[in-house]
Chain A
């Protein structure tokens, strides 16, 4: 009774094609946006914004990228970290080569460069599928990190290989580096993530998204109705890498403030993969739920364990945290293999009928 479509009539296809068809959904989204844009910057501490919200948002963006490739187009990839590193180093090279360039332009160019690299490493997908493709994308992960580590040009010949991200402005406002406040960094990342999420939602519900899903569900039938597997797969790799590249650039510039290849090791690729599996393959909402699960839950567990009087045994707390985390992942996958997004959908169905049993 709380949440239902009764009485909300659509009189045109344009209205029926809206992203959020129900009034309740629109109100819900507005509330979330208001919290993210207004309440968070006012209420949350710097610690919260910089160590929790920023990685959460950036991971959600990377998950969005991987979900386009794996969840929508059905191409498994373990190269997310490599593509994020590509975005970070591309942004670094662009930002240092053209210091006056607006950071938004830097981000877009870094994303496009990563998209190109993604297409190159996506070429094997035309021949191989499934686990074999996953192994082929592992090559991207290792090769790209090796490249950025070994060739000093990428780090502008810095001796340590760790370089701090310079201050750059977007529309005249410093958004990265020491001069930008945490709140500005947070809001900038939030705007980027909001816009890219909207774009991803649009792509996945229109022609290109349908061709990705067609390739995922039945590539033979897709070919017979005129979808070119080459175009569909490579466009998925390109868009996915574009998102991962921007996520990597934001990671280096807005979150850690340092550009280093080691920040994007295989662990990152796995973590993003877990996020989309736990959140829900082939959904947009799932990326946020998955990222929240993987980023926020350990922090919550850690605080809870320390609160339970384990201050002396910090090492013990972190071991326990890993164990509980692992158990929860297994639990959620057994309870709902389609991810947290599916749980939300089931809840919506229930809310539709509540308080009646049917």
Chain B
């Protein structure tokens, strides 16, 4: 895609970019003597697609783990909708609309696609154990209501045909899609995608990019994306964070970042004379 096309694409899919949804400040994360993240700060605005890039071991996945409370940083703060938190907890994150997918798929392998996606609705279900045992009252009502919602996501991601297949039997590309579906079932405000296109062929990648853009546009979901495919990152993201060895190297629009000499040196490669 040329620069011109890129700009038009950016213009045509213009959404509202709103206030700061999430901000991380001076995050420090160490494992024993290894520093995974050092003094990393950036923010994410409502409605934008924010990419995190960097070489292997730069701390990208660790950053996502900090954001959804899976790792507890030793220092720094996370602000969620203006509320400053010393630490994030996975349950708090889930309840407040932060969903994620994993680099190496974390689906429930013994369960069907439908059941996997339905787990994304668990926080919205209120039926008591007794009601569930009797499939009565709220249990029945909620099950049907959430089933209808989940079916909309299934339609959206075009996975109707694998609805009742155990996910362990699905090919890799479809598993990635089911994982996205499960995250979407949570109706997230912020979606953390850890290499959603890794290991995919071109066609699957294009599908996935389309889905991410559609989610962002139709539901207004804010997206944080880790991706190695530079053309994808440059095409779809609004702003890019570059990490290297756990430090923030650059932060800006794709154009700014790709012109930044430090980024070119560390990541994109530099021509030595």
Binding site for B on A (CB under 8 A): 13-14, 16-17, 199-200, 202-203, 206-208, 210-211, 213-214, 216-218, 220-228, 235, 239, 282
Contacts and interface: CB of A to CB of B under 8 A. Distances in A.
Given A13-B144, A14-B144, A211-B122, A226 B132 contact: no
A267 B127 CA distance: 38
B94 A13 contact: no
Interface of B: 68, 70, 90-91, 93-95, 99-100, 102, 106-111, 115, 118-120, 122-123, 125, 127, 129, 132-135, 139, 142-144, 147-148, 151, 182-183, 186
Given A210-B111, A210-B119, A202 B135 contact: yes
A310 to B, nearest CB: 44
A213 B132 contact: no
A199 B119 contact: no
A214 B106 contact: no
Given A213-B108, A213-B111, A224-B94, A207 B132 contact: yes
A225 B120 CA distance: 6
Report whether over half of chain B's contact residues are helix, strand or loop; otherwise say mixed.
Answer: helix
Given A14-B144, A17-B147, A206-B135, A227 B108 contact: no
Contacts of A203: 129, 132-133
B132 A223 contact: no
Nearest to B150: A13
Contacts of B183: 225
Given A224-B90, A224-B94, A214 B119 contact: yes
B133 A224 contact: no
Report whether over half of chain A's contact residues are helix, strand or loop; otherwise say mixed.
Answer: helix
Contact of B119 (A200, A222, A239, A282): A222
B115 A17 contact: no
B144 A199 contact: no
A221 B107 contact: yes
A121 B125 CA distance: 28
B108 A217 contact: yes
Nearest to B94: A226
Contacts, number: 100
Nearest to B133: A199
20 contacts: A13-B147, A13-B151, A16-B147, A17-B144, A17-B147, A199-B134, A202-B134, A206-B127, A207-B132, A210-B111, A214-B108, A216-B110, A221-B106, A222-B108, A223-B70, A225-B99, A225-B186, A226-B95, A227-B119, A228-B91
A239 B111 contact: no
Interface hub of A203, A206, A213, A216 (most chain B Cβ within 10 A): A206
Nearest to B89: A223
A211 B116 CA distance: 10
Nearest to A14: B144
A97 to B, nearest CB: 26
A259 to B, nearest CB: 28
A185 to B, nearest CB: 25
Contact of B148 (A13, A225, A282): A13
Given A202-B134, A213-B111, 17 more contacts: A199-B134, A203-B129, A210-B111, A210-B118, A213-B110, A213-B115, A216-B110, A217-B110, A218-B106, A218-B109, A221-B106, A224-B68, A225-B120, A225-B183, A226-B90, A226-B94, A226-B186
Nearest to B129: A208
A214 B182 CA distance: 12
A206 B108 contact: no
Given A13-B147, A225-B99, A208 B132 contact: yes
Contacts of A222: 108, 119
A20 to B, nearest CB: 13
Contacts of A211: 119, 122
Contacts of A224: 68, 70, 90, 93-94, 100, 106
Given A14-B144, A199-B133, A224-B68, A217 B115 contact: no
A214 B68 CA distance: 18
A285 to B, nearest CB: 16
Contact of A282 (B70, B110, B123, B135): B110
Contact of A221 (B91, B108, B142): B108
Contacts of B132: 202-203, 206-208
Nearest to A207: B125
A10 to B, nearest CB: 12
Contacts of A226: 90-91, 94-95, 122-123, 186
B44 to A, nearest CB: 18
A223 B98 CA distance: 12
A130 B200 CA distance: 34
A239 B93 CA distance: 29
Instruction: List 7 tightest A-B contacts by C-beta distance, closest first.
Output: A226-B94, A221-B106, A217-B108, A199-B133, A226-B123, A202-B135, A206-B132
